[in-house]
Structure 1
């Protein structure tokens, strides 16, 4: 099997919702916005995803992921730790930090068993000992390198998995159906491309986010009378 085909298969594996990283338990505030009727239809959901991608996931999670990937390529564990620290500083909502850490641990466990690598072993030990937080995007960046993906494919796998995870959440919340989810995914192609450009243009100290309504929805999630998702 050629290297190119192997990389494409790995890309599909990492970006597939079948990969058990725990992301299927997350709604990133969507559940709150649906229950409070701030998101009621396909257009509302599309805007929600566009805002998350361009104003939060790209300039924070994606930037940390890319710099963790680069640190992994250079076997620079301090760079990976730095990416984790910077992302933690940008993740102000306690529940988001908690779910990011749990997802990171789940990803580490699965990846270590699937692609054995010294860096993953060291990171697993440091997370267990509390030396690093081990947020999911940072771990994903390292896993992408370990699995043999280039930086662009690692970013795209992360973004695709993020979007499809939220579309799956929207289906479970009865906002859309499967056909509408595929239509939205296609509509988001320009936004995914723009998000990718944001990610590759920023350094760690240039990370930023601005999604106040979504942030408030995430903070109010634990007050909902019924919940399907962890955030």
Structure 2
């Protein structure tokens, strides 16, 4: 684990809902669970999010992120694209795939904007049109190659994959990157539950504390998994995500 201030601040930034990648509009089926009264109290919500961690985030997204991080560190663009392709194949609901690829594309856009701003600063140009950027100055050829592939629709560009590339380029270890991503996922769902008016601030914070060991466990369990182990099994959550698209009332996009 690193103690480098810049890397630590990057981890905080990537795990913050303030990062404008569209996560604020996603509930990953949680809104539909609430619409159908399948979540009655905090215990139900905790159980659902823990299941997401153990069945989706850990064995699927964490594996993708960790392998993308490793491929980026090795400069292996072909392997990186294979990770993205595998994740696209195992993420079954179209709604979840679209949410993931949109977020990945947005993170790449922020990355590219940051790179352009760095180049402008070096050349003496004053370009301050977008302050919400991530610098790609240390990303190397792999970062640029992945951004180009996503821009030309040559690869889906899923969020965990791009997250892994960005985290590696900014000095986070694989485990740190996985923890930041999983934490962001959990706080996103808890925030969604709160905005839907079913839970208060204090209960949400209590649930977050209770889920913290689960986050650590699933990340440590899957951080070293091979790409072939990537899998997702959460059929009811997937059904809720599909039903949500045609729900009579919706606050979230997915």
Q: Same fold (TM over 0.5)?
A: yes
Name the structure with the higher helix share. 1
- The question of 1:85 aligning with 2:85 is answered yes
Contact 2:66 2:224 in 1 (8 A): no
Match of 1:204 in 2: 227
Match of 1:123 in 2: 146
Contact 2:178 2:223 in 1 (8 A): no
Structure 1: distance between partners of 2:182 and 2:21: 14
Match of 1:15 in 2: 15
Structure 2: distance between partners of 1:40 and 1:9: 37
Contact 1:115 1:146 in 2 (8 A): no
Larger radius of gyration: 2
Structure 2: distance between partners of 1:100 and 1:107: 11
Q: 1:3: Cα distance to partner? A: 6.6
Q: 1:111: Cα distance to partner? A: 2.3
- Tell me the secondary structure at the aligned position of residue 245 of structure 2: helix
Structure 1 runs not aligned, ≥5 long: none
Structure 2: distance between partners of 1:38 and 1:201: 34
Structure 2: distance between partners of 1:107 and 1:138: 10
User: Which of 131, 140, 146 is matched with 2:169 structurally?
Assistant: 146
Contact 2:175 2:220 in 1 (8 A): no
Contact 2:174 2:223 in 1 (8 A): no
TM-score norm. by structure 1 comes to: 0.95
- The question of 1:222 aligning with 2:245 is answered yes
Q: 1:229: Cα distance to partner? A: 1.0
- Tell me the secondary structure at the aligned position of residue 8 of structure 1: helix
Q: Alignment RMSD, CA only?
A: 1.4
Contact 2:76 2:142 in 1 (8 A): no
1:62-141 correspondence to structure 2 within 5 Å: 62-112=62-112, 113=114, 114-116=134-136, 117=139, 118-141=141-164
TM-score norm. by structure 2 comes to: 0.87
Structure 1: distance between partners of 2:252 and 2:208: 21
Aligned length: 230
Q: 1:127: Cα distance to partner? A: 1.0
Structure 2: distance between partners of 1:65 and 1:190: 20
Structure 2: distance between partners of 1:123 and 1:98: 18
Q: 1:121: Cα distance to partner? A: 2.5
Q: 1:209: Cα distance to partner? A: 2.1
Q: Deviations over 1:47-95 (max 9, x none)?
A: 1100000011110011000000000001111111011011011011111
Match of 2:57 in 1: 57
Structure 2: distance between partners of 1:18 and 1:192: 20
- The question of 1:164 aligning with 2:187 is answered yes
Match of 2:29 in 1: 29
